[in-house]
Chain A
Amino acid sequence: MSDRPPLLEIRGLRAAVGDLEILRGVDLCVHAGEIHAVMGRNGSGKSTLSKVIAGHPSYRVTAGQILYRGQDVADLAPEERARAGLFLGFQYPVEIPGVSNREFLRVATNARRLARGEEELDTFSFDDHLEQRLALVKMDPSFLDRSLNEGFSGGEKKRNEILQMALLEPAVAILDETDSGLDIDALRIVAEGVRQLAGPDNATVLITHYQRLLEAITPQYVHVMAHGRLLRTGGPELALELERRGYDWVDAEAGLGSREDVAV
């Protein structure tokens, strides 16, 4: 494995909103075939990391690099990153009134297919393709003809995210708290979807702050994020330790004191 270049490599990444620095030097290396988990308290910077990787315009990268298949993505627009195979499953998927879910899924799928040198799918062949993928997330087809995420419950939104992932077949999928707000059944379906899509040629980064999802999908690496940095990396046992002991010891070990002591 190690002779293959990483799919995603993050080096010394710092990012800010206005003058507020949120990411303070993140390093992460993800190879094909791997599943990583990023855990951490609320507010530690997990969502920011995922959005910066996807190219959200609100965040300014002030130092460091994001390399995707060895290429710096700094100059790529969010849509270019997506077409190249980076996928972000949103913690809070956005509701878009008036844009049909089905039409959106088709446009997105075709943009990715074109980028991969594949043919665009017409409405009919897309609908067939969609039906297969729909089964994976056990989503009620009636959600396809509604406005994108509008009025969807939390769980329905998350399933729709996994459906998008299944359609776009990304090389690197970053799933930001796809497990939160899900009941046990929905969690199982989402986990099953993620497991089925994970393969030797792609990689998954699961952002979560519960052990729950990791019981269904076992990551090779668990990283702990605090104060805008990945402070510790370990195996699946680290997740269990976090579940048992909380996060304060990580801060203490890193010499940061608990969160309350840190001036933000």
Chain B
Amino acid sequence: MLTLKEVKAAIAFDQPKLRATAADRRILVEGSYLVSERDVVAAPDGPIAEFNIRMELPDLYPRREPKVFEVGGRIPRNPDRHINPDGDCCVTVWENWLAASRDHSFGSFLKGPLSEYFLGQFWFEKTGKWPFGERPHGLKGLEEAYADALGIANKRESLLYHLRLLSQDWPKGHWPCPCGSGKALRRCHHQDLMAMHRRVPPDIARRMLLRLDPKN
């Protein structure tokens, strides 16, 4: 469970213009987020950019994803800028980050996706391009992100089938192998699937599945 102490420690020195407070079942982080180079304690000209933000961190973080709002009105409210009309920032596809990175601490989120998002916004302001790429909107973006996390081709049926297998604590060996060979998984790509299972554990696979197809 995320504690106020952990959040305060993460922003203490590196983000001196953010303030953290505890609210009902969540932690609020508000103020100015500073975009800087990595591994630079003090840039002679100051930060590259600043964004006024409000962050809502659920106490179940990282199981529940943080919400980030740009509140300074600097980013035009346009889906192509990866922001919703209420300023809600689509920083990343959450489960993709959970599967792709080992360190899910709040500090890691602050220095990873959040920094990439706002550096990206600054870069887009200057050049009209996204420096680290972007996801398609909506469902298509989810599918692409999940296929990336699994390391498979982005085909919906195959993705859903992989996720059903991965949702099981012990993927069923007698199910057909997802490669389409017609053989049972245990006689085909069992090793590969188990490696994927370690990378994308069942709880994350279940959430991916739920978001792709709420009927599941």
Q: Do A and B bind each other?
A: no
